Structure formats: C-alpha cells, structure tokens
Structure 1
C-alpha cells in the first residue's frame, strides 16, 4: 500500500480537527456527560471511522479496507479493557464526575502520541526482521492464556496501585491534596503545585500504554501497513471516552469479555505464526525455506473477530441476568418472612 506523505499529514490533521471540535463543544463547560450525549458522540466517531474505511475501499481496494476494519474492530474491543481500568482509576482518585471527560481526553491524547511511537518502532522492526512475527505471535498466544485466567476489570477500587510512571510524577511535582476545579497545576503561596487532576491523567495515559503492548502486535497480525495500524488505533481511541460514559455500569456485566478477547488474541497469534512459517527465512527452521502451511485470510479473520465478540456479549449479558434472577429468588423468601 503506497501512502503518500500528504495523506499521512491530512489524516493527522483530520484527527486534530476532531479533537479540537471535541474540546470546543464537549469541554467548553465542565459538566457530567449523560447517556444521550455520549451516545451521539459514539455514533459520530464510529461514523467517522466507517467513512474512513469506505474511503480506503474506494481508493485502495477491498483487501486493505478489510484489514482496516478488522484492525479497528479489534482495537476498539481491546480498548474496552481500558475502560475497566479507567473506572478503577477514576474511583481510586475520586475524580469529580464533571471533570472526568477532561481527564479522559488528555489521557487519550497522551496514548495517541505514545502509540504512534510504538507503531513506528513496530513497523520498522517488521520491515527489517522477519522473525519479529514469530515473537509477536508467541507473545499474543501467551497473553491470551494469561488473559483467559484473569479477572480483568473486576478488581475492587481499593486494590488499585499506582504504577512507576505515576509515582515518578509525584516525586517530580508536589501534589495538592484537593482538586482545584479542572486545573492541572496551581500556585499556593507562590509555589507551583500539581493537582490530583495531573496525576490521574498520567495514570490514564500510562495505563493505556500498557495495553498497547498487547494491542499493537495484535493489529500487526491483521495488517502490515503502518498507515492502517495508526488509523485503526486512532479512531478506536478517539471514541473511547464517549464509550466510557455510554456503557457505564454495563461494563461490569461483560463478565466473559476477558475470555472473548483471549480467544481473539490467541487466534491472531496463531495466524501470525502461520504467516511467519509460510514466509520463513530463519535458517534453523526448515533450512531457511518457506513451509507449506495454511494461512488465514482477512475475511476469515474479520468473521472470527465479530463472531467472538457477539457471542461474548450475549453470553455475558445472559449470565449476569441469570445471576440477578437467582439472587432475587433467594432474597424473596427472606423478605416475605420479615414482612410477616
């Protein structure tokens, strides 16, 4: 895929325009974002992502468009994991609801910048070293096994522990005990202080960076085009904070999400290993010759990703509904006896 430099600049400029619009409209006045407002913005961002994919289809063909959509859906679904962590961080830092959207925006901007660096490094490594696909593939399979055994996003707020980046920020700047409206920095008796708002933004941005370690290799398993990797990541992140307010308590009901995402990561990991074997050049594997192994096309990948996510969502909602009904049935006799 030959992407001129001006297309890169135009895409980045378009994303900046979206951020400015978001800042001017949503962040014009601090407020608690409602479900209706969040739904409209999620629809807007998803529509932008879809229109971008249609543009790729028109100008570059269905194959690249399929790779972009597979990457976008994968990144968006993996980003839901981020929302669990965002919930924990917001609760741990007791962020006022009217300022949560600003925290998320700054955190996501930081994530966009850091992921851009990750993507550039990953693309350069893949173009220079064919064995990187083996490393990425094995890492994703390992991550899938680990994720399937985890309880990601369901930890209690009090179990949250600040990471090294956040602790370093606290050492770098003295931090006030209370929030100072939406200020990131403030002055007290002529001395400059960071506010908890600054620390929580660092926590959000650095937490997302940890998730990028999984998601960036995953999308490179679906497309080797750095432009598509960047665009899919950018659009997935752009609508993430609106999704945070839209889903709200629903996040807690996605009890099987980690299993579904583990299946997707494992599938992509195996796909990468098969492709690496198919184009093998490592001398200690089959004498440096290609292996005649089956590979997975983008159509199959897209179908598996959508299918797994759909099954995961339906199964999760059925499970939580069944548990709620069982809990209500257990409470009923006790309530009736109390009334008597």
Structure 2
C-alpha cells in the first residue's frame, strides 16, 4: 500500500497506475470490441467515437480537479486543447502518408492504433527527458518559450508545403536494408517472400509497415512543438503526459472525419501560431513582469480555447462550399507503384 502513495515524478504512484489502467482499458475496448475486424470507418461513426474520447478526456480533467484542485485541472485542459488542435495538422500529414503508400481505408485504423501505442512510449520518453532538463536547469524553460515564439512566427508566415514521403530518411533506410513488397498484405507488417535474386525465402516489410514508421517519425516532429508548449504551461510531469496522451488517444477515431474535410481548416494554422506565441510569451511575462508570479491558469485556458475556437469557426466559414478537389487524395486512387521508393 505504501507503494501506491509513493511519490513518482511529483505525483503519487496510484495516479499514474489509474491513468495507465484507463489507457489500457480504452485500447482493449476499442480494439477488442469495437474493431475486432478490419473495416472502413464512416464519418458518422468517426464523429461519435471522437465525441466519446473527448468526453472521457474531459471527465479525466474533472477527476484531476476533484483530486488535485482547479489549477492542475485547468493546466490539463489547456494542454489537451493545444495538443488536440495541433493534431489537425497531424491528420493532414497522416492522410498524405496513407495515400502515398496506397493503404486501403479498412486497414488504416489498425495502423493508427499501433502508431499511437508507439507514440505513448515515445512521448513518455520525450516528456521524461524534458522534465529532467527543467528540474536540473529552470532556464531551459526560457529556451522552450523562445522556441515556441519562433515556431509560432514561422508558422504564421510559412506556406503550405506537402510532406515529401518518398525522401523520408526512415523510408529510404528501410528500403535499402531490407526487402519491401510492392503490394499490400492485409493488416500484416511483415511477410515471408521469395528473393528474386537468390530464390530464397526472406522476411520483407510491407507498405503498411513503412506507413507506420513514417507516421511515428512525423509524430516526433510534431512533438517538438507540442511538448515544449505544454511544459510552458506547467512543469508537472503528470499533467504534461496525461494531457498529451488523452488528446492523442482520440486521434485515430477523429482521423476519418477530419481526413475528409481537413482542407476546410486552412486558417486554423494562424490561430495555432498565435497560441504558440502566447504560450511562449507568458513564460517571460510571468517571470520578468509579474516578478516570478504565476500567470493565471484560467486566463491561459481562456485565451487558448478562444484562439483555437476562433480559428476553427473562421476556417469553416471561409471554406463554406469548398469543393472536394481541395481535399487530400483518396487512398483508393493512389498509385501502388510508388510503394517502393527505390
């Protein structure tokens, strides 16, 4: 029993165990009951499942509020909304990756599931490393803040450049060091196939595995923005990690709805740019203008939620009636010949 109340990264161990249990339960329910068989998810089902995950995330925030107080809860909600908004850009990239490798829609959900499982581990490593840096040297937060301001300004003025999947270092490394099948093999990541040069059976990666690897590499790139953003809100490792993971858990469900209308969120990036600049600036405001006092968490949450909401509403208004030609290419029309970069 003492172990349950032992401090682990500033939070009692039972909090961490409860969260891990929730993640495992949600994943088992999703994969074992809702999606036992590979099938294409419709937009209506995607929205309903997304609402379920968002509801769970909001309830988890209420639990934090009751167990630890209002300030950690508002910090959790702020981090959750930032990560959720940033994931919309992630959806566009994932859509391009699936399209490039011609992954059928019915296999995309399972690939996203395994991708998110990897993200949970990778984000944990990144957040643990960030927490260790901040605990050893507080001034690292100023580097995070300056990076967020720089990223926000760059995002505001940057154009919309599509991801070059073919030249992704991970894709080229795998393609050079092991065989890659030109065709899909259902939900399998690896298959045994005959080497055309030697005639021997060898283990080969499938396009689904390449897509999974590129998705995780892309997430690491996105984490460079999102992890410092949440550390700029709070240095509480539990809040940083849980807000990140709760936002990501629902991404696989939200993907199928957003992928069909991601072209309608064109102006959201300007709101996200403003959010990153605001979050980075408030570190300097709190430490140098408020004499080390805390920036009001309620104000941070209000400004963040207001900017993101304004960006979504304005985007939907400006793109009303936008044609399907602006949306990402569907996976059914992708060229299978592009599956093997070499």
TM-score greater than 0.5 by the shorter chain = yes
Q: 2:91 touches 2:258 (CA, 8 Å); kept in 1?
A: no
Backbone CA RMSD of aligned residues:
1.9
Q: Give the aligned partner of residue 21 of structure 1.
A: 29
Q: Within the alignment, does 1:123 sit opposite 2:131 as a pair? A: yes
SS of the counterpart of 1:29?
Answer: coil
Q: Give the aligned partner of residue 272 of structure 2.
A: 261
- State how far apart, in whole Å, the 2-side matches of 1:28 and 1:129 are: 47
Distance apart, 1:167 and its partner CA: 2.3
Distance apart, 1:129 and its partner CA: 0.3
Structure 1 residues 125-274: aligned runs within 5 Å: 125-152=133-160, 155=162, 159-189=164-194, 190-274=201-285
Structure 1 residues 69-108: aligned runs within 5 Å: 69-108=77-116
SS of the counterpart of 2:234?
Answer: coil
For these two proteins, the number of residue pairs brought into alignment is 309
Distance apart, 1:53 and its partner CA: 0.7
The structure-2 alpha-carbon separation of the partners of 1:273 and 1:167, relative to structure 1 and needing over 3 Å to count, comes to farther
Distance apart, 1:27 and its partner CA: 3.3
Distance apart, 1:161 and its partner CA: 3.8
Q: 2:83 touches 2:244 (CA, 8 Å); kept in 1?
A: yes
SS of the counterpart of 1:249?
Answer: coil
- State how far apart, in whole Å, the 1-side matches of 2:47 and 2:320 are: 23
Name which one, 1 or 2, has greater alpha-carbon Rg.
1
- State how far apart, in whole Å, the 1-side matches of 2:249 and 2:43 are: 17
Q: Which runs of 5+ in 2 are unaligned?
A: 1-8, 195-200, 324-342
Q: Give the aligned partner of residue 329 of structure 2.
A: none
Q: Give the aligned partner of residue 333 of structure 2.
A: none
Distance apart, 1:104 and its partner CA: 1.2
Q: 1:39 touches 1:246 (CA, 8 Å); kept in 2?
A: yes
Out of 38, 45, 59, the position equivalent to 2:46 is 38
Distance apart, 1:294 and its partner CA: 7.4
- State how far apart, in whole Å, the 1-side matches of 2:20 and 2:104 are: 31
Give the TM-score of the pair, scaled to structure 2.
0.85
- State how far apart, in whole Å, the 2-side matches of 1:265 and 1:293 are: 21
- State how far apart, in whole Å, the 2-side matches of 1:322 and 1:17 are: 40
Residue by residue, what CA displacement relative to the aligned partner does 1:15-54 show, whole Å, maximum 9, x if unpaired? 1221122111243111100122212211111111111111
Give the TM-score of the pair, scaled to structure 1.
0.86
SS of the counterpart of 1:321?
Answer: coil
Q: 1:120 touches 1:226 (CA, 8 Å); kept in 2?
A: yes
- State how far apart, in whole Å, the 2-side matches of 1:295 and 1:11 are: 27
- State how far apart, in whole Å, the 1-side matches of 2:66 and 2:26 are: 23
Q: 2:113 touches 2:252 (CA, 8 Å); kept in 1?
A: yes
Q: Which of the two has greater helix per residue? A: 1
Residue by residue, what CA displacement relative to the aligned partner does 1:190-231 show, whole Å, maximum 9, x if unpaired? 211111111000011110111000000001111111001110
- State how far apart, in whole Å, the 2-side matches of 1:15 and 1:106 are: 14
The structure-2 alpha-carbon separation of the partners of 1:27 and 1:185, relative to structure 1 and needing over 3 Å to count, comes to farther
Q: 2:232 touches 2:279 (CA, 8 Å); kept in 1?
A: yes
- State how far apart, in whole Å, the 1-side matches of 2:203 and 2:99 are: 26
The structure-2 alpha-carbon separation of the partners of 1:138 and 1:14, relative to structure 1 and needing over 3 Å to count, comes to same
Q: Within the alignment, does 1:55 sit opposite 2:63 as a pair? A: yes
Q: 1:134 touches 1:276 (CA, 8 Å); kept in 2?
A: no
Distance apart, 1:151 and its partner CA: 3.5
